[in-house]
Amino acid sequence: MGKAGTRVHLSGVTARINGTPIVGDVDLVAEPGQIVGLIGPNGSGKSTLLRTVYRSLRPATGVIRLDGDDLWRMSAREAARHRAAVTQDHSVDTGFSVRDVVAMGRTPHKGLLDRDTSADQEIVDDALERVRMTWAGERIFTSLSGGERQRVLLARALAQQPSLLVLDEPTNHLDVRAQLDLLELIRTLRLTTVTALHDLDHAAAYCDHLVLLRAGSVVAAGPPADVLTPDRIADVFGVRAHLGHHPITGRLHVATAPLSADVAATTGV
Amino acid sequence: MSRTTPVAPGRPAPTTPPGHARERRRTAVIPTTALVVVLLAALVLAILTAVAVGTVAMPLGVVWQVISAHLTGGPVGVDPLSDQIIWQYRTPRVLLAALAGAGLAVAGVCLQALVRNPLADPYVLGISSGASLGAVLVLSYGSAALGGLGVAGAAFLTALLTLAAVFLLAQRGSRLGATRLVLAGIATTYLTTAATSYVQLHASPNELRGIMFWLLGSVSGATWPALRIPAVVVVVTLAWLILRARSLNALTTGDDSAATLGIPVNRLRVELLAVSALLTAAVVAVAGGVGFIGLMIPHMVRLIVGPDHRRALPVAAVGGALFLVLVDLGTRTVDPPNEYPLGVFTAALGAPFFLWLLRRNKNEVI
């Protein structure tokens, strides 16, 4: 299901909300199949930048290309056949079942008079299976836990059969296990993914490429080990950071503490 | 990616089905087509019955004979008085009740999706109170009050003017926020209601009774020509909405969420607003301020067929029509020969339902 992944190229993207510039002149490239993490403090423009990609906010200037095609020159429907997203504002409180919610992912593939076909049903089944939520198909969406809901919304995005996945802080409000389950799941999808993340440790461990934003501008971009340096983290986030290897997984690990924290026995990398 | 472990050993997979039956889909699996057919049959039966019942009772056979004769253009074959009662007086009245019920129920479904608030109804945007002001002006001061317009014309005009005001107040930038829309609607409702009350105080006791009937809704003055506009508006908007049922479903999940599914959210919101306003104005202009249908029918429908608009819209249309035909029948049979305004009965049934709804929702966001 889905295409192998597309190359995403944002060039010179500027975004304003009610005239106020929030994001200025951002360049970003996600190679096919890469997971690109957007990191930065609150208000640095991560969500606003993502809105220009999932077409909730038109960039004031700049171009967003998917494999060379201008995302904002497509119709809204066509764009939604290439790019799916899990946003933060989602509010399904109307009694839709999990299957109904996932089937909504077929919306951009359907004309005004089209009915759901057995092919659509298979795509929905497949999407639920990929996020391991098949058992919940007939449950009411709102009766699920936060982690389960995020997986269902991810299944809805997969049912769109996108080549680009956009995630806006997908681990927000989830307990620690649900966060790790979701991040592991995202890695298995092999889709070009652009995701905003708050947790620097998660960003370091799960992303192929990071883009660090401050006040709407890119401060640094590159592999996690290059972007996440103690000096830069101290400068942008105002916290003391220690880079090392995760004692359990061996992945890149970011430990943080307040700038004023006493330095205990620090072991080098 | 080799570093992926979807389910680590030693912990249960998060795929165990917890068996909370009551959290499962409550909606029965009644096929929608079957339900619509059954409701349509009930509607036809209710219409025939409502035409037969009245101060002068008509046998169902005669009602059928007269209606089919007029529809096919054949000879009527009953006395002129019966013909007049059935065809000129009762049939348009009952059909207007059906159209008004269908229109308000559909407008309610549409608006609840638009503003994502289960307590919204077609009047939350101030359309009804706007229409009331125009109608009451004409009822109190005569048709000279608004440049020679009749009651229905005046009501339609002030409804649209009110809507335009609400629209301008609610708009910020290119966005039309749900909360701003409701707040602007409520504020405008208070304003136009105040103006209506002021005008009412200047009306004579004679005029007051007519005003009262208009404000609470009535189909007693229905004529065939008055049916034209609401009939066209209800049929066209219903078809338009059913074609966009998928987009309505997507919109209920949030603006950003709908945008990711390829819905042009701002354009759809404006279109839905215009459609529900047109429906409401077309109905209220001829039937007055019939309350509660637009609130209670959508909720009843969702309890029966679930939240999917592909099912909810047709069922709401037929259900709303059936409900208001029966209510109109009630208003003229409960205490003959007196008649009561529709709003008295829809509210008597609607208010307890509303309270039940509030109790049922006590653990949720409202």
How close, in Å, is residue B260 to chain A by CA atoms? 5
| Nearest-CB residue to B261 (from A80, A113, A188) | A80
What single string gives the DSSP state of each residue in B77-136? -S-HHHHIIIIIIIHHHHHHHHHHHHHHHHHHHHHHHHHT-TT--TTTTSHHHHHHHHHH
In a domain, A160, yes or no: yes
Give the pLDDT score at B231: 95
Give the pLDDT score at A265: 52
CA dist A233 and B262 (Å) reads 37
A140 to B24: CB separation less than 8 angstroms, yes or no: yes
Please state the ipTM of this predicted complex: 0.90
Which chain B residue has the Cα nearest residue A156?
A: B261
Contact between B15 and A147 under an 8 Å Cβ cutoff? The reply is: no
Q: A84 to chain B: which residues are within 8 Å by CB? A: 260
Q: A187 to chain B: which residues are within 8 Å by CB? A: 1, 3-4
Read off the DSSP letter of residue A50. Answer: H
Give the pLDDT score at B40: 95
In a domain, A32, yes or no: yes
| Radius of gyration for chain A, computed over Cα atoms and rounded to the nearest angstrom | 19
CA dist B208 and B258 (Å) reads 48
In a domain, A170, yes or no: yes
A160 to B261: CB separation less than 8 angstroms, yes or no: yes
Domain boundaries, position A238: 8-258
In a domain, A266, yes or no: no
Give the pLDDT score at A92: 57
Q: A94 to chain B: which residues are within 8 Å by CB? A: 252, 302, 307
In a domain, A265, yes or no: no
Give the pLDDT score at B168: 86
Query: Side-chain half-sphere of A127: how many Cα atoms within 13 Å?
Result: 30
Q: A56 to chain B: which residues are within 8 Å by CB? A: 255-256, 259-260, 265
The superfamily (CATH) of domain B93-358 is ABC transporter involved in vitamin B12 uptake, BtuC (1.10.3470.10)
Return the CATH number at A140.
Answer: 3.40.50.300
Give the pLDDT score at A263: 66
B254 to A77: CB separation less than 8 angstroms, yes or no: no
CA dihedral in degrees (B181, B185, B188, B190; nearest 10)?
-140
Q: Give pLDDT tens digits along chain B (366 positions).
A: 344 444 344 444 444 444 444 444 444 456 788 889 999 999 999 999 999 998 888 888 899 989 989 998 888 888 888 888 999 999 999 999 999 999 999 999 998 888 887 778 888 888 888 988 988 888 888 877 777 788 888 888 888 899 888 888 887 766 667 778 888 888 999 999 999 999 988 888 888 888 888 888 888 888 898 899 999 999 999 999 999 999 999 998 888 999 999 999 888 988 998 888 889 888 988 888 887 888 888 988 887 888 899 999 999 999 999 999 999 998 888 887 788 888 888 888 777 876 776 676 544 433
Give the pLDDT score at B285: 85
Residues of chain A with pLDDT below 50 are 1-2, 268-269
How close, in Å, is residue B68 to chain A by CA atoms? 34
φ/ψ (deg, to 5) at A248 = -100, -50
Give the pLDDT score at B22: 41
Give the pLDDT score at A266: 53
Give the pLDDT score at B328: 92
A104 to B253: CB separation less than 8 angstroms, yes or no: yes
Q: A185 to chain B: which residues are within 8 Å by CB? A: 6
> What are the residues whose beta carbons fall under 8 Å from the beta carbon of A111, sequence distance 6 or more?
none
How many contacts (CB atoms, under 8 Å) link A and B? Answer: 132
Query: Side-chain half-sphere of A145: how many Cα atoms within 13 Å?
Result: 14
Which chain A residue has the Cα nearest residue B361?
A: A93
pLDDT in tens, A23-61: 999 999 999 999 999 999 999 999 999 999 999 999 999
CA dist B189 and B167 (Å) reads 13
Read off the DSSP letter of residue A72. Answer: G
Contact between B315 and B301 under an 8 Å Cβ cutoff? The reply is: yes
User: Does any CB of chain A come closer than 8 Å to the CB of residue B21?
Assistant: no
- Which tokens in the block code for residue B285? 């202009």
Read off the DSSP letter of residue A143. Answer: G
Give the pLDDT score at B172: 72
Tell me the one-letter amino acid at A128.
Answer: L
CA dist B256 and B63 (Å) reads 53
Number of domains in chain A: 1
Helix B265-287 with B224-243: angle, nearest 10 deg = 160
